[in-house]
Amino acid sequence: MAATTGGILFGGLGSVLRYNIGCNNHSNILLQIRNYAARKGTREKARKAKVKTVVEKIGFIPQTQRKEYLLKRATKLKPVIVDDSWKRAPIDNVWPGKYFQWKVYSFQEAIECHRETHHPTSYNEPNAFINALIELDLTGEKKNKLVGSFTRVVSIPHKFDHGEKRTVLAFCKTAELQKLATDAGATAVAGPEDIKEIQMGNMSLSDYDTVVAHPNILTEMLIIRGLMKKKFPNARNGNLDANIAGIVDKYINGIKYTATPHEHKKDYGVINVPFGTLTMDVQHLEENFKLLLQSVNGARPKREGPFITRVRLESAPSKELFKIDFSQYITDKVTKMDEHDDEDEDDDEPEQVVRSI
């Protein structure tokens, strides 16, 4: 009897497990199995928690060059950001750089040090360029969004021969304004009649680095906006202004710099640009340097923490770098100086109301 009961019992369990049903006709035991759905929002929460991995594609590397590529990549992946804030400050005029912080120079001290090395008795380059090596933290407002490469031009009060050949096309409606643009250094000037030539393809805009315009001709220029794309004058970019001579002078004689992200560490960027020569007056160099830093800091995203992390002065052919205390030249408030951003989108509406300088 027990065996029979046991056989029926186990047969009933097998039937329940095999068909996954709630009741077995051959047994007095009732088993119910329910596969309930997950709580609302569980799948959506799991989907958002997944981190998307961005894989950068690398072109085909021949077998004979792979060893060289890996060695080169390993060299570039060395730490590029030097943080010596945890080290002690030097207390003597001679110290091992491995265990102490970099010495921070005043602007005048750094210029004098470079002048000593470039003296005719040493490098014999007294009129060499003085460059600002500016390091940036390119972290954006969101952690997964970085500040990309950008190019700007800042107007400076004390000009110098930067050694670059720049071409500027100025659009003006009257002959008086065209003469002002030409006297300021514009490569060419264009009026309403030239707009039709551009539309027909008889005049190329690719021959000019920058296009500037006076607001009184902006309406006529709208028909060639599609051809100009990012070169279309815009007050926010700084190439549309009533002071046509001023903006021409800025693009011809101003400081043009580019922020370049590191090849592998994308949140670290560098700007290396000359702002004068060693023969210029120190005060004039400092004024140019201040406007340069304020222009760079104007690109700072709206987030906590500094945008400019370190500034050093260098002058070729010397390899010496002098760290500068730059905090006195910038403020936490983002200021938009006389500048041009090449990364602005080309779908911005033209602004006809501009500030007259």
Given this model, what pLDDT does residue 17 score?
Answer: 47
Give the pTM: 0.70
Q: What is the mean pLDDT of the chain?
A: 81
Per-residue model confidence (pLDDT) at position 49: 72
Between CA 143 and CA 321 the distance in angstroms is: 31
> For residue 54, what pLDDT band results from cuts at 50, 70 and 90?
low
| pLDDT interval class at 189 (50, 70, 90) | very high
Distance, CA of 349 to CA of 351 (rounded, Å): 6
What does the pLDDT read at residue 332? Answer: 60
329 CB contacts (<8 Å, ≥6 apart)?
A: 289, 290, 293, 294
Q: Which residue has the higher pLDDT, 39 or 103?
A: 103
Strands 255-261 and 168-171: unpaired
237 near 208, Cβ under 8 Å? no
User: Which percentage of the chain shows pLDDT scores above 90?
Assistant: 50
Asked if 31 and 16 touch (Cβ cutoff 8 Å), the reply is yes
Cα gap 76→5, rounded to integer Å: 78
The b/e string for 249-280 (b: 16+ C-beta within 10 A; e otherwise) is: bbbbbbbbbebebeeeeeebbebebbbbbbeb
* Structure tokens that stand for 38 in this block: 């997950």
Locate 227 and state its tokens.
């051809």
List % helix, strand, coil for the chain (3-state, nearest 5): 30, 15, 50
Distance (Å, rounded) from C-alpha 179 to C-alpha 190?
Answer: 11
Range name among 8-22, 55-69, 113-127, 232-246 with the lowest pLDDT average: 8-22
The model's confidence at residue 335, banded by pLDDT at 50, 70 and 90, is: very low
Q: Is the pLDDT of residue 35 over 70?
A: no
**Lowest mean pLDDT across 168-177, 240-249, 340-349:** 340-349
Domains and CATH numbers, the chain: 1-54 (no CATH), 104-161+254-329 (3.30.190.20), 168-251 (3.40.50.790)
pLDDT computed for residue 80 by the predictor: 64
Structure-token match 């068909």, residue found: 19
pLDDT digits (tens, 9 = 90+) for 258-278: 999 988 888 899 999 999 999
Per residue in 159-187, pLDDT tens?
Answer: 999 999 999 999 999 999 999 999 999 99
pLDDT at 325 over 80: yes
Residue 337 scores a pLDDT above 60: no
Lowest mean pLDDT among 12-26, 126-140, 317-331: 12-26
Q: How do residues 346-357 score in pLDDT, each as one tens digit?
A: 444 444 333 333
